[in-house]
Structure 1
Amino acid sequence: MALSPIKSAAPKVQAAAHAVRESVRRLHGIDSTKLLPQISEPLAEARNDLSTLSSQLDTAADAAVLAPSMLGADEPRRYLLLMQNNAESRATGGIPGALAVLDFDQGQLSLKSQTSAGALGQFTPPLPISTEEQAIYSPRVGKFMQDVNLTPDFATTAPTAKAMWEQRTGEKVDGVVSLDPVALSYLLEATGPVEVRDPAVLQISGGLPTELSSRNVVKTLLSDAYAAIEDPDLQDVYFAGAAKEIFSALSDGKSDAKGLMEALARGVEERRILLWSSAEPEQSVLAKYRVAGLVSGPSVTPAQFGIYFNDGTGAKMDYWVKRSVRVVKDCTRDGYRAVTVRVTSTNTAPNDAGESLPDYVTGVGAYGVPPGSAQTNVIAYGPAQSTIDTVVKDGAQVPFAAHKHNQRGVGASTVRLKPGESTTLDFNFGHIVQNTELNMVVTPTTQAVKDVVLPAALASCE
């Protein structure tokens, strides 16, 4: 990627952003209450249009400033890559089973130092995390690389993963990037299919496709690989090998530039691609956007809710679990807003999953969950100052764990589903002071986001 045009364009983009920002400020300074409708209505439209343009230009200006340095224009940059596996859910997507280092030098990308999270072993004592997150997610976040993203806050996950990597390997990195196979499928739409050519990967592939495309990569990596490759370490090798071919296709410069930008934007919008920089000035800019994956700060809307999933099976059953999240009540009670968020989960695995699916997928009861069943820890976040008053499972109130994280009300409950079984959890939030539009954030799964976050279906407040 040529970085000099981006560097040279940055001052012009910043100037344009400033000019439009000032125009928005002046338009909003006009008192429209005494204007005729023929004037006030076009003014309101102009305000909205310019505000949208201003936001887009601010984003472009930030990107133009950050991109060259973060892609190695001034000196090579190295980023730890967490390849999340959605078949075993974690709050930000999936277990980071395969790891690698992304090298950027003058915009040229290469993938190096590939290994597995398991190879890093256990960290004793655990790396420190906040006391609030320890209470919700346990010290395991700082104990195993596989669990660094039990928390949905990438500002905790990334520096913890960086410290683990550097402590075990001695390799310094400048930041952390995370993505999942669904994001890889988006990238493959831009690059076109890629061939798996590494002899070591082909030797263990066990009849898996040698050509990976946007249509087959998710099923291949998150389902078929477990039937074809029994050794978990070799599964990670195959996963990393597939990622290497895709990144090689990205770095050869032959992909459609517009399609690549759209793929990256889609991955970021769905929180399948996350980025953290160890350079504080860069991170302070990233923190304004979804790509930072934060639970508090400028990128979090005032009335934001979060529903996150952490595997409790100790296996790869989440490929078979389908979920939906929707607001089913939004009322005013005792002067405060009360909101109910319903989470529906269904285990779509075959009835004989305990026998027909690979042992590594079912977990064979190693953690107390019957083979074929799927157990999930569901964590719900409300806005700042909110509380979770009750949790109702399939119509009956159930005990739950209540917490706080960065002033946000948090509730956690566990569901276990046999094949074909479905259940609902209603998280009843209270003491909500924000009156702005509700916004929902969820753990990225193998499903399309539109199939997980459903439109509100509000019940009566009476």
Structure 2
Amino acid sequence: MTQPLSLAKDQLSSIADALDGAADVARLAPPMLGDATPRTYLLVVQNNAESRASGGIPGALAEISFREGKMTLGAQSSASDIGVMSPPLVVEPEQRQIYSSRIGKFFQDVNLTPDFPTTAATARAMWERKTGNRVDGVISIDPVALSYILEATGPIAISNPDLLSLTNGSNLPTKLNADNVVRTLLSDAYANIEQPKNQDAYFAGVAQEIFGAINGGKGGAKSLVAGIVRATSEGRVLLWSASTQEQDVLAKYPVSGSISGSSISPAQFGIYFNDGTGAKMDYYVKRSVQLIEECEAHGYGRIRVRITSTNTAPTNAATALSSYVTGAGAFGVPAGSVQTNITAYGPVQSNIETALVAGEKTGFAANRHSSRPVGTLTIRLAPGQSQTVEFAFGKIVQHTKPVVAVTPTVQALKDVVLETKSATCAPPA
């Protein structure tokens, strides 16, 4: 039996402490990896340089197939090649109210919602409408996850002639490793490759090289699985199956990217970022998210979620960076500035009481999604500028430790999610 299926089965015992559902993985892995019947998935590489709630704007797309555990890459494309859906796909009313009908119209916007099952089902429908090819599910990954994989495989030399032709005469590396792949894909590629279509081709080609190395058996099995587990724990690898039976099992775990159901803690908060610049400036934004617990009367808790964002782009970003990266003001945001729509989710039955920007009370769009309160507001940062936003949530029952999920960014998760400032509240009377 070839490597991917062997990895999923043989390494479970050595990483059982890192997987909440080893038994479920052992049961799902064989059929999902084509042990009996071949499986084909849509692979979506999210580009964190332009934020979307689940990570970044969909960049490279490819079909990835498994037959008896052997992995092959098939048809490749990009989100821009899919075009505009006419008529648009139906978006359920709650999410349409929060994120607009763009989710069902543009592939680039399928993940404006943080709910990956919605994103994946929509992406699958768009792919099948455009290509006529049916897929059995959707797998999402980002360049940071690719860097974890490269830690296991070691450096990979670019061998694809088309990729080499794009790198000729440029400063792009001919070998990719864990230290340079994120910067290469999310920054240097834009400085060295002018045409967006060629940038998409480069993105897709790099993904193909890395997955080819995995399929060729490069890298130790244990370290490769550990890298994938790490990426999954940070929300950088997401998985959806078109099989209802399989999806019901996946929905029990964070890898499903669900915003409701058994994978969600009773005291889980969510902070999600959607780019409003129409560009690739999020590579330069550094963020931190912190939960701050407080006590109220009657034993209920109050939690403030503090989000601090800083635009680290150079002061001359408007001229020093390419217009493709800055957006050149095409959507009303000055070149070099970054506009972000910040969406905050609270636990079921809680309420958002107030929102602050720079310590001042401000208005926000209030909605509900799967019985969770949702608040959205927009900030804009000039180069060098920082801004702190706070959402205050009330009626939090203090029987479960509060946790927060955040949009995966270029930064390491440990640098984004800060330690919770805790308080001990008496139980409600």
Please give the range of the TM-score, normalised by the shorter of the 2 chains. over 0.9
What does 1:4-23 correspond to in 2, within 5 Å?
none
Contact kept, 8 Å, 1:3 with 1:106, in 2: the verdict is no
Q: Which amino acid aligns with 2:328?
A: V
Q: TM-score, normalised on structure 2?
A: 0.94
Tell me the CA shift for residue 75 of structure 1.
Answer: 1.2
Asked if 2 retains the 8 angstrom alpha-carbon contact of 1:9 and 1:64, the reply is no
* Other structure's SS at 2:347 match: strand
Pair 1:117-2:79 in alignment: yes
Q: CA deviation at 1:207?
A: 3.4
Aligned residue type for 2:38: P
Matches of 1:209 and 1:260, distance apart in 2: 23
Could you say which residue in structure 2 is the equivalent of 1:126? 88
Picking from 305, 309, 313, the partner of 2:269 is: 305
Question: Aligned partners of 1:56, 1:324: CA distance in 2, in Å?
Answer: 25
Who is 1:188 aligned against?
150
Cα-to-partner distance string for 1:268-326 (whole Å, 9 max, x where unaligned)? 00000000000111111111111000100111011000000000000000000000000
- Higher mean C-alpha deviation, range 299-308 or range 200-209: 200-209
Structure 2 unaligned regions, length at least 5: none
Alignment match, 1:327: 291
How far 1:433 sits from its partner (Å)? 3.4
User: Counterparts of 1:394 and 1:267 in 2: how far apart (Å)?
Assistant: 33
- 93, 100, 108: which one pairs with 2:55? 93
Mapped to 1, the partners of 2:283 and 2:9 lie a distance apart of 45
1:296 maps to amino acid:
S
Match in the other structure for 2:186: 222
For the residue of structure 2 that corresponds to 1:365, the secondary structure is coil
Q: 8 Å contact 1:313–1:376 — kept in the other structure?
A: yes
**Contact persistence 1:6–1:64 (CA under 8 A):** no
* Larger relative helix fraction: 1
What are the equivalent positions in structure 2 for 1:54-453 lying under 5 Å apart? 59-205=21-167, 206-333=170-297, 335-433=299-397, 435-453=399-417
Question: Displaced runs of 4+ in structure 1, greater than 3 A?
Answer: 2-10, 55-58, 457-461
Q: Which amino acid aligns with 2:351?
A: T
The residue matched to 1:384 in structure 2 has which SS?
coil
Decide whether the 8 Å contact of 2:326 with 2:337 is kept in 1.
Answer: yes
Q: For residue 34 of structure 1, what is the aligned residue in structure 2?
A: none
Query: Is the contact between residue 282 and residue 338 of structure 2 (CA under 8 Å) also seen in structure 1?
Result: yes
Q: Is the 8 A contact 1:2 1:106 kept in 2?
A: no
Structure 2 counterpart SS, 1:364: coil
CA distance in 2, matches of 1:148, 1:330: 36
Q: Which residue of 2 aligns with 1:29?
A: none
Change (3 A) 1:200 1:342: same
Amino acid at match of 1:194: I
Give the whole-Å Cα distance in 2 for the aligned partners of 1:311 and 1:401.
17
Matching residue's letter, 1:100: A
Say if 2:293 and 2:301, in contact at 8 Å, map to a contact too.
no
Relative contact order, higher structure (CA 8 A, sep 6+): 2
* Aligned match of 1:48: none
Report deviation, 1:124: 2.1
What's the TM-score once normalised by structure 1's chain length? 0.87
Q: Residues 390 and 3 (structure 1 numbering): CA distance in 2 closer, same or farther, change over 3 Å?
A: closer
Contact 2:6 2:69 in 1 (8 A): no
Q: Is the partner of 1:343 in helix, strand or coil?
A: strand
Aligned residue-pair number? 421
Question: Per-residue displacement from partner, 1:67-95 (whole Å, max 9, x unpaired)?
Answer: 11111111111000110000000000000
Q: Is the 8 A contact 1:6 1:68 kept in 2?
A: no
* 1:3 and 1:68 in contact (8 A); partners too: no
Partner of 1:350, secondary structure, is coil
Q: Deviations over 1:236-290 (max 9, x none)?
A: 1000000000000000113200001100100100000000000111111111111
Compared with structure 1, are the counterparts of its residues 9 and 341 closer, same or farther at alpha carbon in structure 2 (3 Å cutoff)?
closer
Q: CA deviation at 1:8?
A: 9.2
Contact 2:300 2:397 (C-alpha < 8 Å) held by counterparts: yes
Q: Which residue identity is paired with 2:414? A: K
Distance 1:57 1:402 in 2: 36
- The structural deviation recorded for 1:117 is 0.3
Does the aligned pair in 1 maintain the 2:5–2:70 contact within 8 Å?
A: no
Equivalent runs, 1:37-48 vs 2, <5 Å: none
For the aligned residue pairs, the C-alpha RMSD in angstroms reads 2.2
Q: Return the offset for 1:203.
A: 1.3
Cα drift, residue 456 of structure 1: 2.0
Please tell me whether the aligned partners of residues 88 and 105 of structure 2 are also in contact (alpha carbons under 8 angstroms).
yes
Contact 1:101 1:111 in 2 (8 A): yes
Q: Kindly state the Cα deviation for residue 58 of structure 1 after the two structures are TM-superposed.
A: 6.7
Secondary structure of the structure 2 residue equivalent to 1:82: strand
- Which residue identity does 1:164 align to in structure 2? M
Classify the secondary structure of the residue corresponding to 1:132: helix
Letter in 1 for 2:32: M
Task: Specify whether residues 128 and 400 from structure 1 end up closer, same or farther in structure 2 by C-alpha distance, changes over 3 A only.
Answer: same
Q: Distance in 2 between matches of 1:352 and 1:327?
A: 34
State which drifts further: 204-213 or 83-92: 204-213
Aligned with 2:328: secondary structure? helix
* Kept in 2: contact 1:383–1:408 (CA 8 A): yes
Corresponding letter in the other structure for 1:374 = V
Query: Match of 1:83, SS?
Result: strand
| Deviation (angstroms), 1:204 | 1.8
